[in-house]
Amino acid sequence: MSGPLKLSDAARARVVEVFSSLQGEGLRAGEPQIFVRLGGCNLHCDYCDEPDTIPIPSGEIWPAARLKAAIVRLNIRNPHRAVSWTGGEPLLHLKFLEPLMRWTREQGLENYLETNGTHPAAMRALAPLCDAVAMDIKLPSSTGRETWTLHRDFLKETPASAFVKVVLTAKSAEAEWRQVLDLVREAPRRPPLVLQPVTPGYGAAPIPPARLARFQDLARLRGLDVRIVPQWHHLWGLP
């Protein structure tokens, strides 16, 4: 890459933080993971709990060698099952992630990818290296834009280990929820569906419990594997 580094290349990326904690969301909540939070995101959700990662560029430029050393150090201190690649939006760092995910597997660690589900080409490239994919479907009521087509294309590229997560707020409407259900039902592997009621205090009001229950019922009526899983790490007082 010529010129100044704006986001990432094969050898360097903008890293916001690297730390050890328990996975606090989705189907693998409670699992010890090493979190690599990368800087930059192409969306701006009104409930984002990591707003400092959104600007492009954000974070500090790290060479791959520094990141590898941090992961090894954390894993020696306390064995983990996986590295969670998160952000921001980690798929903005495709050239950086591909060799690192291969290296992670060589260390005996799994790759857990957290993504906003709007970069299908990057997902296609990394799918063989992912042991779990937590894919968000973003509702227009929270992002101010429609990303249905990108999500549909993304679902065609996800591995069998993927699940779909939807953060629900007071603004989440039944009409857009039905579009989510259509996307998941039409997906080639019909992934499990997680309803995540928004965590209070991050810019969006919580979804009423009755509407949350109705959304779950609508998913069940469509024959989907669905469950409600809140963000646990905030309740546990963990990063």
Nearest one of 69, 71, 96 to 6, comparing CA atoms = 96
Q: Are 64 and 18 in contact (CB under 8 A)?
A: no
Q: Give yes or no for a cis peptide into 39 (omega within 30° of 0).
A: no
pLDDT digits (tens, 9 = 90+) for 69-104: 999 999 999 999 999 999 999 999 999 999 999 999
Provide the token pair at 41. 């995101």
Instruction: Quote the crossing angle between the two packed helices 148-155 and 174-186, to the nearest 10°.
Output: 20
- Domain ranges, ordered by start, for the chain: 12-236
Confidence (pTM): 0.94
pLDDT over threshold 80, residue 2: no
pLDDT digits (tens, 9 = 90+) for 123-172: 999 999 999 999 999 999 999 999 999 999 999 999 999 999 999 999 99
Give the pLDDT confidence score for residue 6 in this predicted structure.
Answer: 61
* C-alpha to C-alpha distance for 197 and 170, rounded to whole angstroms: 9
Name residue 165's beta-bridge partners.
136, 194
Give the pLDDT confidence score for residue 30 in this predicted structure.
Answer: 96
Record: fold of 12-236: TIM Barrel (3.20.20)
